[in-house]
Each structure stands twice: as structure tokens, then as C-alpha cells.
Amino acid sequence: MTAPPTALTIAGSDSGGSAGMHADLRTFFACGVHGMTAVTAVTVQNTTGVSGVVEVPAETVAAQIDAVASDIGVGAAKTGMLASAATIDAMLAACDRHGIGRDGRTPFVVDPVAAARSGEPLLHPDALDALRNRAFPRATLVTPNLDEVRLLTGIDARTRDDLLDAAKAIYDFGPEWVLIKSGHLPDDPECVDLLFDGTAALPLPGPRYATEHTHGAGDVFASAITAALAKGASVPDAVRGGKRFVTRSVADAYPLGSGVGPVSTFWRISPRSY
């Protein structure tokens, strides 16, 4: 028996099981990749929102990365909720030690999670600079949604035509690639995301489903991309595959609790098996 490819998520937990590292691990599994975690924060969360956050000490986040990278090896890594500048800096130092990111060549996807879908902050405002100026330049790919674009650049993208300006502004912080997610575009009948490498823009078309149950969609998208990168795919192929994966997951999203339900990764394992 040989070991499968490996991927690491550096992210927060969601007690409701819909978003964060729970969604990441589910996606890694569904994509045939062995998933590992460096937990940054424990959130008290359900389908109605986040009612508490306990941050893991920055040195423990770094120690988790050291532990898995030095023993198991990391095929590709992604970030989710990073909570604080101290955690971002400790994470980046650990990633440097193990060749994760930019010049170390292990693919590194930075999903700049700033808030939960329900609105509660998941990142201290004073961590934005660390994300923009220290994490982005090390990233293979940065994957903001439109709220994160607004927070990080001040650009208020309202139509498909605004996405290229948003991508250029994020690209200026130094990542290799930028993926702008279009789920929050108001009044667009489709979900056309945009991938940009500083020169060419590749639109990623997809349908828009009439569901409110999209909790974890961004996490699942970034994780499916990371899994494909761990298997050796190019960035455009990984992003195209990730888009197919998340679109199907949104199509099968299910209601849960009294709030917003999660996108589903069940379809990939055994459709309608529950």
C-alpha cells in the first residue's frame, strides 16, 4: 500500500461541522487526499452563527505545522481562519522552515477568511496588514470573496466587470495567482469567478443555485483546489476542478438546524447515502 497525497489546513474549527477545518478535512477526504490540521482557533458555532472564539497560542499553531511537516510531509497547504497577526507570523515562519509557499515550491493557498457568513469577525482588524503584506507575497494563490476584497483593498465590486480590478488590486500584494469568488455578487444570475496571474484573466463560469445553504462554500472550494495541487495539478487545472467540485457541492447543499446549512460533499462519496 502506498500513502495518498497529503494536504494541510491551517484553520479554525466549527463545532457545527459545516465550515472551517471540518469542511476542509471532508473535502480532502472526498478528493482522495490525506488531510492534516494546524488548528488556529476553536469556534463555538452552529448554523445560526458564532457565539465564542478561543484562540490557540501562536507557538502551538507553529508546532502543529512543524510536527506534521517534519514527519509526514505536506503536499500542499491552505489557510482558513487565522485570527491574529501573531498566528500569521508564527505560521509563516513555520512554513518557511518546511518549504511551504512561494520559493519553497510546496503550493500554498491563502484563503483570507475575515468573517463568518453570519457576520461575526474571525480575524482581528490589526491582522489585515500581516495578511496583505506578509502572507500574500508567499502565496501560490489567494482566494478572497467580495467582502474580503472590500476589506483588503477598499474596492466595492458590484458587477462581473469589477472583478478584474479587484483581482489586480490583490495581485499587487504579491501572490502568484488570485481567484476572486463571485458568490456575493448581487443580482447576477450566474456565479462566474475570475482567476488572474498578473497578465491573463480566466473566467470560471458556473450556475447560481437558489439556495441559502452555502455555509462552508469558500472553504470547500479552497480545499478542493489544495487537494488537486497536492496531486500535482497546475493552478488553472486545480481551480477549474475545484470550481466543478464546489458547484456540485452547492447543488446538493442541505438544510441543517434553524439557520444556514452547509454545502454537501456527500455526493462525491456515495450520493444520497444518508
Ligand X SMILES: Nc1ncnc2c1ncn2[C@@H]1O[C@H](COP(=O)(O)OP(=O)(O)OP(=O)(O)O)[C@@H](O)[C@H]1O
Decide: is 250 part of the binding site for ligand X (CB under 6 A). yes
- Neighbouring residues of 101: CB distance < 8 A, sequence distance ≥ 6: 77, 92, 95, 108, 138, 139, 140
Residue nearest to ligand MP5 (CB): 20
**Degrees (nearest 5) of the Cα angle 169, 174, 179?**
60
C-alpha cell read off for 74? 505536506
**Cβ 217 to ligand X shortest distance, Å:** 4
Q: Using CA atoms, how far apart are residues 27 and 229, in angstroms rounded to an integer?
A: 13
Q: Using CA atoms, how far apart are residues 165 and 159, in angstroms rounded to an integer?
A: 11
Cβ atoms within 10 Å of 272's Cβ, excluding its own: 7
Q: Quick one: which of 246, 261, 262, 265 contacts ligand X (CB under 6 A)?
A: 246
Quick note: the x/- pattern for ligand MP5 over 110-149, rule CB under 6 A, is ---x--xx----x---------------------------
Q: How far is CA 260 from each of CA 31, 46, 122, 216, 271, rounded to the nearest angstrom?
A: 24, 9, 18, 10, 21
Q: Using CA atoms, how far apart are residues 13 and 45, in angstroms rounded to an integer?
A: 9
Interface positions, 146-175, toward ligand X (CB under 6 A) = none
**Cβ 222 to ligand X shortest distance, Å:** 8
When CB distances are held under 5 to 8 angstroms depending on the partner's kind, the choice from ligand X, ligand MP5, none that residue 168 binds is none
Quick note: the x/- pattern for ligand MP5 over 201-230, rule CB under 6 A, is --------------xx-xx-----------
Decide: is 37 part of the binding site for ligand X (CB under 6 A). no
Q: Quick one: which of 79, 145, 223, 265 contacts ligand X (CB under 6 A)?
A: 145
Amino acid letter, 226: T
Which residue is it, cell 465564542?
52
Decide: is 206 part of the binding site for ligand X (CB under 6 A). yes
**Cβ 60 to ligand X shortest distance, Å:** 26
Which residue is it, cell 501562536?
58
Q: Using CA atoms, how far apart are residues 211 and 119, in angstroms rounded to an integer?
A: 18
**Residues contributing to the site for ligand X (CB under 6 A):** 117, 145, 181-184, 191, 193, 206-209, 211, 214, 216-219, 221, 243, 246-247, 250
**Residues contributing to the site for ligand MP5 (CB under 6 A):** 11-14, 19-20, 43, 45, 80-81, 113, 116-117, 122, 215-216, 218-219
